[in-house]
Amino acid sequence: MIVPLHAGSGIRVKILEAWSRGMPVVSTAIGCEGLRAHHGENIWIADDPEGFARAVIAMLRDPGEARRIGEAGRETVRAFYDYRVAYRPLDAVYPP
């Protein structure tokens, strides 16, 4: 998934969707703003056109790295964005 955003706001649902499917993501810093995105860990982040193109090409050329980044993204969704995790603090306010 490529997310070459240079402006915008709100939750980056497209990245969460890609992560939930185990897809590798290349994004600009603005494109993944507000998410638990860490360059080289669960996403590749590049802001200039040349760096962005190099990151996309690197993902295409290295399926193992693409798979590793995709799986790390999936784990990020499971750990922080799954509704069962995200809503857990509400249990203290509204007991089951």
Q: Would you state the pLDDT for residue 16? A: 96
Band (pLDDT 50/70/90 cuts) for residue 77 is very high
Catalogue the E-assigned strands of 1-96: 2-3, 26-27, 44-45
- pLDDT surpassing 80 at residue 8: no
Helix 49-61 vs helix 63-76: crossing angle, to nearest 10? 100
Structure-token pair, residue 20: 């939930």
Domains of the chain, with CATH numbers?
Answer: 2-93 (3.40.50.2000)
Q: What is the mean pLDDT of the chain?
A: 92
Cα-Cα end-to-end distance for the chain: 38
d(CA 8, CA 45): 16
**Backbone phi, then psi, for 24, in 5-degree steps?**
-70, 150
pTM of the model: 0.85
- Name the phi and psi angles at 44, rounded to 5: -110, 130
pLDDT at 93: 87
